Structure 1
């Protein structure tokens, strides 16, 4: 794997302050950019289970207790999303309204109409394998340090059939936005060139998985994967970034099944 110093700086910046703006705007001479959209696929499946017209949304404080916490997923560490995810939908804009739910889902935001939304991030824990000092770190150690999956997890809750409507909005968006869309976040613009149904882990009562191909400032493309899963009147969103893949302009890889399974296990 060959990575220029620009890519290293981009990845370092992303790890240090992984905001959507940095992922979207972190560009360099080698084209290491974008963390808002991406590549390949989206698959949806559903069951007959419904959240029910009398369902009541959980408060955000209740949702916080249902988010994955440290120790819930072996081999992963959990951090709050305060410094890594957009604070509200108002800072995430697309050029096609039908694509908004996709953009929101990839940013840990509620894909449907609700104010009950919380998020955090779950990343591969490589601390035990890391060198104890920079003097001990070789090229392989540096490259390996970037091979970390970080998954943005969002939970949102809805009254009535709001959760089902949110799922439909995502599913419809995958179809409507197949040819791509433009995304602007924190003043930086990304271009998603393709959206497609993906094969996901699934689970819950209803699931939609999709991938997006993102233009890396004309320096190739990168593919990102997301899953949106409903359990009752709660919707969980998952979106994974792998920092090593930025330098390669490649595929970020699927959302880790362990993360999805653990999160769904905590939902009522």
Structure 2
């Protein structure tokens, strides 16, 4: 589980799944533009995306900063079944499709370390230390990636993720920077309902002795921009507690894309 904790602190990666193992939303158009005399959608620049992505102090209860370890290169994240690559890349913070520009941030839930309340070593004896560590890792870590596209690129990229969720429901294998991993199932979930259209899903590896290890993600289209959210909670995994992409992060990011 030590590798899992390390991976959660850094970028969300396929290496995490390797180390741990021994919904379609509303649609208000295709976003292509160029119809009825309206101009085609134009991508935002990298500078404009950096102004629109969540920043420090903008998400109540969360610390926002750079993605520790960075986002992997797209060509370093590949799936055994190419149809599943949009899902795998979303899980690692890589923007789907062919964006003109993209940028990422990481939002980490603020939590008090339960070991701070210990008054002596006896307080952490008899398994209490392990329990305290588990509780200290019970926090949501979310990577947010904004990507902007020309023309109908955003709608097409979102569709590629939605199609991959359906095609890869039975699971798939993948590689990131040489690290191999496997998801045993992909399940579509109810999305946040923000933006023009969205898809949310969970990719799970439940083949190991530690049981189900889920990663949660959502991709939302705001005009010509896609917001990709990927969340992991190691403590929740350890205690088999349900978790999902945190609403405060999605709400704060959606507000900056209006």
- How high is the TM-score relative to the length of structure 2? 0.85
Aligned counterpart in structure 2 of residue 26 of structure 1, from 19, 38, 42: 19
Q: Which residue of 2 aligns with 1:193?
A: 184
CA deviation vs aligned residue, 1:204-239 (integer Å, no higher than 9, x gap): 111111122224546433222211100010000111
CA deviation vs aligned residue, 1:13-38 (integer Å, no higher than 9, x gap): 235544525423324xxx47xxxxxx
What is the CA–CA distance in structure 2 between the aligned matches of 1:10 and 1:241, rounded to whole Å? 14
Matched, 1:14 2:14: no
Kept in 1, the 8 Å contact 2:93–2:145? The answer is yes
> Secondary structure in 2 aligned to 1:26?
helix
Give the total of aligned pairs. Answer: 247
Kept in 2, the 8 Å contact 1:19–1:84? The answer is no
> Secondary structure in 1 aligned to 2:49?
helix
What is the CA–CA distance in structure 2 between the aligned matches of 1:15 and 1:55, rounded to whole Å? 36
Matched, 1:116 2:97: no
When the two chains are superposed, the root-mean-square deviation of aligned CA atoms in Å is 2.6
Kept in 2, the 8 Å contact 1:63–1:118? The answer is yes
Matches within 5 A, 1:172-211: 172-211=163-202
Matched, 1:159 2:150: yes
How far off its partner does 1:253 sit?
A: 1.4
CA deviation vs aligned residue, 1:167-206 (integer Å, no higher than 9, x gap): 1111111111111111111211111111122012121111
Matched, 1:223 2:227: no
Larger radius of gyration: 2
Q: Which residue of 2 aligns with 1:44?
A: 25
> Secondary structure in 1 aligned to 2:254?
helix
How far off its partner does 1:48 sit?
A: 3.4
Q: Which residue of 2 aligns with 1:37?
A: none
Matches within 5 A, 1:98-137: 98-127=83-112, 131=116
Q: Which residue of 2 aligns with 1:144?
A: 135
Kept in 2, the 8 Å contact 1:44–1:197? The answer is no
> Secondary structure in 2 aligned to 1:78?
strand
What is the CA–CA distance in structure 2 between the aligned matches of 1:202 and 1:130, rounded to whole Å? 38
> Secondary structure in 1 aligned to 2:195?
coil
What is the CA–CA distance in structure 1 between the aligned matches of 2:144 and 2:170, rounded to whole Å? 26
Deviation larger for 199-208 or 229-238: 199-208
Distance 1:56 1:224, change over 3 A: same
Distance 1:59 1:127, change over 3 A: farther
Kept in 2, the 8 Å contact 1:67–1:266? The answer is yes
What is the CA–CA distance in structure 2 between the aligned matches of 1:134 and 1:186, rounded to whole Å? 44
How far off its partner does 1:84 sit?
A: 4.6
What is the CA–CA distance in structure 2 between the aligned matches of 1:208 and 1:214, rounded to whole Å? 20
What is the CA–CA distance in structure 1 between the aligned matches of 2:111 and 2:184, rounded to whole Å? 33
How far off its partner does 1:12 sit?
A: 3.9
